[in-house]
Each structure stands twice: as structure tokens, then as C-alpha cells.
């Protein structure tokens, strides 16, 4: 077992902590469980509190370009108010729900390059020390997975994924950032769009799906972003034909119908900016722009999940993530956690 020494404010000889997450990846809105293992120091200590923080590496756009930083997006106290004897051992189990908007970090076990962590804060004798940081793996909800697979079956390929600081106007977004999963288009869409960005905003009731397309310009007009939004309840997710529905979404967003028909848009959502139809410009990062959406009802009849993922939703099955092999993404994630450890000045003991 590896313990992180709590140095800094507690001094050498203080308690040591090792937080161990249960090995199964969590899901947005699901339960994160594990245990915090403590080893006593050179004297008895009163443990005031054990607090876990969920942290994310987030990109922010500003007047001088882009920057990255660590954002705490959830805190919960899982224990405390007990005496830890000199050299004593104690394990504190925990289980708490993740925020519904927690980003996904992997698909079919392959990393997307999103960096999330669980940081342990120990309060001892009135002092606080963030003494342990562990990587957090989050897999998608079944419908999120099915939507990405459906995009893969249409021929879209994974480019990259990141977390953007800001708010998408007109949504129920709760966290101070949102996830973008960037995909490159197949041949039938390549003349219209250079890439699309998919954002999932889950809630206790369901999931909003926001799709933004970077559309090519024409002879008399420049390129622009087109954005649309769809939503569904958790109780509806299992009964949908996601392959057909996602294809309809893309045709509506891009104004393209391979059969030459005008798409029918059921249950169009109210747009506070007064636009009609699909494909309006939007600025997600600064909370401006129009959004449209609809609620569809259908019946699932498509093939089982995973049948086409090797050729689609980002080429993850062959280990390619935005031009980097999966191992390089793992290295990048590892570097982040090692860097955090060095910043905190901790050491590991066997």
C-alpha cells in the first residue's frame, strides 16, 4: 500500500493518507466509492475532517489566448472527528454521487484525454493539507455511449476531447465548464463541415445533447458555426433507435437530406432568440447565441453497441486520439498527476 505523507502545514511525522477508488469506472450521476486509508504519525492526532474534491483540468479562452487550470467542481466530507493513534491504521469507506454533468474520460476502456482527479484533504489540529490525488475514470451513460457509437457508424472519427470553461446559453448547465468531444466528418458531410463538437449535459431528469458544426464557407459567404440541441429523459433512452435518430440530427443540423426530403422537426423547442429551424450561430464559451432542439420519441431497433466502434467514434479501438496514440494520452494524464504531487511536495512510502 502506498501512503502519501502529509508534509507542509502538518510537518514531518504527521499522518499519512492513501485514497483508493473502487476499480470500476463510475458514470455521470452514479456513485463513486472507495476508502481513505490513514496511518498515524509520530504522535496522536485528531482528524477534524476528511474531504474529497473532484478536480478537472480545464481550458479557458481570454483576450490573450488560451490557458489551462485546475477547477474544483465538487467537494464532500466523508469522515472526521476521531482520534488517530500514533502509528495506528484506520480505513474510512465512502460512497457519494458524482455530479450528473461529470465529464466522461473513456469510451470502451480507451482514454479520451480528459483529466479528472479525486484530491483528498485532511484536516488535522486546525490545519489542512491536500495530501493525495488519484485519477478518476468515468465511462459514459448507456445513451451517451450509443450516440457516440451511432456517430461512429455514420463515419465520424474522433479528433480530440477537452473541457472548456464557460456556459452554454439556453441549457440547464450547472458546472462552470462543459466537455467538447470533437469529431471529423465522413465523406458525405465533409463538403459541408470540417468538424463537429458534441457536448452532453446530464441531469437527474435526462440528458441534453448539444452539437456544434464548423461549417465551410461558400463563394459569397464565409464559414460559420451551426449549433443545435436535443434532449431526452432517462426513461426514454432504452427505447430509441439511436442510429436513425442521430442521422436525422445531423441532416437537420446541416440542412442535408440524402433522400431529397425536407426534414420534419417534431416538438421544436422554444428559442429565446426568436430563430426558427436549425443551424444558428452560437458562442458557447461566452454564453451567447441561439439554440434549438427537439424531443423525439422512437423505438430502438439498431444493432448492439460496439458493432461499429472500431471504425467510428474516434478510432478509439485502434488507439488513435487526436493524432496521438492512446499510450501518449496516458502519459499526458500521468504527467499531470505527477506534477500535482510535486507541487504538493509529497513523498511515497511503501
Q: CA–CA separation, 259 vs 236, rounded Å?
A: 28
Label residue 19 by pLDDT band (50, 70, 90). Answer: very high
Comparison of pLDDT for 344 and 176, the residue scoring more: 176
pLDDT of residue 310: 35
Comparison of pLDDT for 337 and 303, the residue scoring more: 337
Type and span of the H or E element at 330: helix 326-344
Label residue 128 by pLDDT band (50, 70, 90). Answer: confident
Q: Is the confidence at residue 249, as pLDDT, over 80?
A: yes
Residue 88 CA neighbour count, 13 Å, CB half = 12
pLDDT in tens, 317-327: 333 333 333 44
Nearest partner of 95 among 52, 34, 138, judged by Cα? 34
Q: Is the confidence at residue 136, as pLDDT, over 80?
A: yes
Nearest partner of 224 among 184, 144, 283, 300, judged by Cα? 283
pLDDT of residue 41: 86
pLDDT in tens, 70-104: 999 999 999 999 999 999 999 999 999 999 999 99
Q: CA–CA separation, 194 vs 223, rounded Å?
A: 10
pLDDT in tens, 298-324: 333 333 333 333 334 434 333 333 333
Average pLDDT of the chain to the nearest whole number: 75
Residue pair 90/83 in contact (Cβ under 8 Å)? The answer is: no
pLDDT of residue 8: 44
Amino acid at each position: 500500500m502506498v501512503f502519501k505523507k502529509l508534509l507542509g502545514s502538518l510537518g514531518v511525522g504527521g499522518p499519512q493518507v492513501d485514497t483508493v477508488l473502487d476499480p470500476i469506472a463510475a458514470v455521470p450521476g452514479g456513485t463513486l466509492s472507495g476508502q481513505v486509508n490513514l496511518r498515524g504519525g509520530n504522535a496522536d492526532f485528531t482528524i477534524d475532517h476528511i474531504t474529497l474534491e473532484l478536480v478537472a483540468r480545464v481550458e479557458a479562452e481570454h483576450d490573450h489566448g488560451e490557458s489551462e487550470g485546475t477547477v474544483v467542481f465538487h467537494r464532500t466530507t466523508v469522515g472526521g472527528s476521531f482520534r488517530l493513534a500514533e502509528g495506528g491504521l484506520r480505513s474510512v469507506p465512502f460512497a457519494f454521487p458524482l455530479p450528473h454533468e461529470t465529464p466522461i474520460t473513456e469510451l470502451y476502456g480507451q482514454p479520451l484525454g480528459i483529466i479528472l482527479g479525486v484530491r483528498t484533504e485532511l484536516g488535522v489540529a486546525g490545519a489542512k493539507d491536500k495530501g493525495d490525488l488519484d485519477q478518476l475514470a468515468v465511462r459514459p451513460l448507456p445513451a451517451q455511449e450509443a450516440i457516440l457509437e451511432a456517430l461512429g457508424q455514420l463515419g465520424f472519427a474522433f479528433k480530440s476531447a477537452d473541457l472548456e470553461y464557460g456556459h452554454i446559453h439556453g441549457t440547464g448547465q450547472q458546472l462552470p465548464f462543459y466537455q467538447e468531444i470533437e469529431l471529423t466528418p465522413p465523406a458525405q458531410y465533409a463538403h459541408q463541415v470540417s468538424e463537429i463538437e458534441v457536448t452532453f449535459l446530464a441531469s437527474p431528469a435526462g440528458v441534453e445533447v448539444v452539437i456544434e458544426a464548423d461549417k465551410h464557407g461558400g463563394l459569397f459567404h464565409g464559414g460559420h458555426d451551426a449549433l443545435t440541441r436535443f434532449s431526452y429523459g432517462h426513461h426514454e433512452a432504452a427505447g430509441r433507435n439511436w442510429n436513425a435518430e442521430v442521422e436525422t440530427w445531423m441532416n437537420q443540423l446541416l440542412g442535408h437530406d440524402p433522400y431529397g426530403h425536407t426534414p420534419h422537426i417534431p416538438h421544436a423547442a422554444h428559442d429565446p432568440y426568436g430563430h426558427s429551424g436549425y443551424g444558428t450561430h452560437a458562442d458557447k464559451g461566452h454564453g451567447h447565441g441561439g439554440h434549438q432542439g427537439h424531443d423525439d420519441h422512437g423505438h430502438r431497433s439498431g444493432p448492439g453497441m460496439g458493432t461499429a466502434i472500431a471504425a467510428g467514434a474516434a478510432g478509439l479501438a485502434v488507439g488513435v486520439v487526436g493524432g496521438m496514440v492512446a499510450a501518449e494520452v496516458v502519459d499526458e494524464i500521468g504527467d499531470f498527476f505527477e506534477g500535482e504531487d510535486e507541487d504538493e511536495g509529497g513523498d511515497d512510502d511503501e
